[in-house]
């Protein structure tokens, strides 16, 4: 690797959909001293966006694979990460499936894997002192947004990780769309908990925490676990109907290219104190749901996550601090 790189931007789920479009937008404007790393389960099908872009395999569904990814990173000479974009996410329809660690898969990937990656990169000293952390959220977390998905449901993190099958109203066992919306609620709950901890960090070590709503983006790989005909409709038919969707359903419908440009724009956005963490479009402030602001739920998720991914008491202390 050339020694001219001074900083790194890391995108999870960076080889397809929103992550790929964000990478393309960033590659057009980043200086040659910035290394852009796309971390994903699958390699990109096309050429990398620039000579200053690198692909690294990353499976967020397993605690062990995230730990191994960061261990390998620690042996590299990559410069500090100035922006970490936690974008990777999936939607699993039908009955729940489970990760190698026994956690419900939507929760394991969309929340736990991304949060675990943050904690290990931070503990390893791989994040720049004032790095920007961007999570990809969704309005599906908010009942008030009326997205057409069942309302997100958060009782405890433990219930999301190990849904009790005897109580479908609590367990979210029968509806993958509800589990997806709930995972996006988790992204916001965790982001608020992280932001609160950053307020206690010493000067010069406070990282900014943002959550981005990309809107509905027909054609992404989000639905790749759905039945074949649904994947075909999602990828081949619905993208052609985006103008009609905007007219009849919601303005919060975008092409992957549009949302990729908007997400890339958040990398350099100046965020004023008190402006919040939740944004959409080209840096427009957005109000998150009332439930996302419940501190007890934020802290329940934070504590459960630290307990799940920390390997020993030392890691629990560092992960729990958050900065």
Extents of the domains making up the chain: 7-217+264-321
Instruction: Map residue 210 onto helix, strand or coil.
Output: strand
The b-or-e profile of 68-107 (16+ CB within 10 A means b, else e) is: ebbeebeeeebbebbbbbbbbbbbbeeebeebeeebbbbb
* Token pair listed for 316: 């629990």
CB contact burial 233-252 (16+ within 10 A = b; e otherwise): ebeeebeeebeebeeeeeeb
pTM: 0.91
Burial 1-10 (b: 16+ CB within 10 A, else e): eeeebebbbb
Whether 174 and 318 have beta carbons less than 8 Å apart is answered as: no
Rounded Cα distance between 222 and 122, Å, is 28
- Lowest pLDDT segment from 79-88, 181-190, 231-240, 255-264: 231-240
Give the sign of the dihedral formed by CA 31, CA 33, CA 39, CA 42. Answer: positive
pLDDT tens, residue by residue, 266-276: 999 988 776 67
Phi, psi dihedral angles at 103 (to 5 degrees): -95, 150
Alpha carbon separation from 255 to 13, 75, 220 (Å, rounded): 17, 38, 9
CATH 3.40.50.720 fits 7-217+264-321, yes or no: yes
Q: Strand 34-40 and strand 7-12: pairing?
A: parallel
Alpha helices in 75-133 (DSSP H): 105-107, 114-123
CA distance 174 to 169: 9
Percent of the chain past pLDDT 70, that is, above it, reads 90
Quick check: 112 and 189 in contact, CB under 8 A?
no
Provide the percentage of residues in the chain whose pLDDT is more than 90.
73
What is residue 221's predicted lDDT score, i.e. its pLDDT? 59
Angle subtended at Cα 54 by Cα 128 and Cα 268, rounded to the nearest 5 degrees: 45
pLDDT in tens, 294-311: 999 999 999 999 999 999
- Which tokens belong to 148? 């057409």
Mean pLDDT of the chain: 91
- Residue range 160-172, pLDDT digits in tens: 999 977 554 444 5
Q: How far apart (Å, rounded) are the C-alpha atoms in residues 123 and 207?
A: 14
Q: Counting Cβ atoms within 10 Å, is residue 108 exposed (0-12), middle (13-18) or buried (19+)?
A: buried
Contact at 8 Å (CB) between 130 and 206? Answer: yes
User: Is residue 233 over pLDDT 80?
Assistant: no
Q: Is the pLDDT of residue 312 over 50?
A: yes
Question: Cα–chain-centroid distance for residue 188?
Answer: 10
Residue 48: what pLDDT?
A: 95
Those residues whose C-beta lies under 8 Å from the C-beta of residue 232, and which sit 6 or more positions away, are: none
What Rg value do the Cα atoms of the chain yield, rounded? 19
pLDDT score, position 148:
78
Residue 205 CB neighbours (<10 A): 13
pLDDT at 88 over 50: yes
């Amino acid at each position: 690797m050339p020694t001219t790189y001074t900083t790194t931007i890391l995108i999870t789920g960076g080889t397809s959909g929103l992550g790929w479009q964000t990478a393309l937008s960033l590659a057009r404007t980043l200086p040659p001293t910035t290394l852009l790393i796309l971390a994903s389960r699958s390699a990109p099908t096309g050429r990398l966006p620039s000579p200053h872009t690198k692909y690294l395999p990353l499976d967020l569904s397993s605690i062990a694979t995230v730990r191994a990814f960061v261990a390998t990173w620690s042996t590299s000479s990559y410069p500090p990460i100035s922006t970490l974009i936690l974008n990777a996410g999936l939607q699993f329809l039908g009955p729940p499936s489970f990760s190698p660690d026994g956690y419900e898969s939507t929760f394991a990937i969309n929340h736990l894997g991304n949060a675990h990656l943050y904690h290990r990169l931070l503990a390893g000293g791989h994040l720049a002192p004032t790095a920007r952390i961007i999570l990809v959220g969704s309005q599906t977390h908010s009942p008030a947004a009326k997205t057409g998905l069942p309302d997100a449901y958060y009782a405890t993190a433990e219930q999301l990780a190990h849904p009790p099958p005897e109580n479908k109203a609590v367990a979210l066992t029968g509806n993958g769309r509800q589990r997806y919306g709930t995972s996006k609620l988790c992204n916001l709950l965790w982001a608020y908990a992280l932001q609160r901890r950053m307020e206690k960090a010493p000067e010069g070590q406070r990282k900014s925490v943002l959550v981005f709503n990309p809107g509905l983006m027909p054609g992404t790989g989000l639905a790749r676990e759905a039945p074949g005909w649904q994947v075909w409709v999602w990828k081949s038919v619905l993208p052609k109907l985006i103008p009609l969707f905007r007219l009849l359903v919601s303005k919060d419908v975008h092409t992957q290219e549009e949302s990729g440009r908007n997400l890339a724009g958040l990398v350099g956005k100046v965020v004023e104190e008190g402006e919040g963490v939740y944004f959409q479009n080209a840096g427009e402030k957005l109000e998150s749901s009332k439930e996302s602001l419940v501190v007890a739920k934020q802290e329940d998720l934070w504590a459960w996550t630290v307990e799940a991914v920390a390997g020993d008491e030392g890691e629990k202390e560092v992960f729990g601090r958050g900065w």
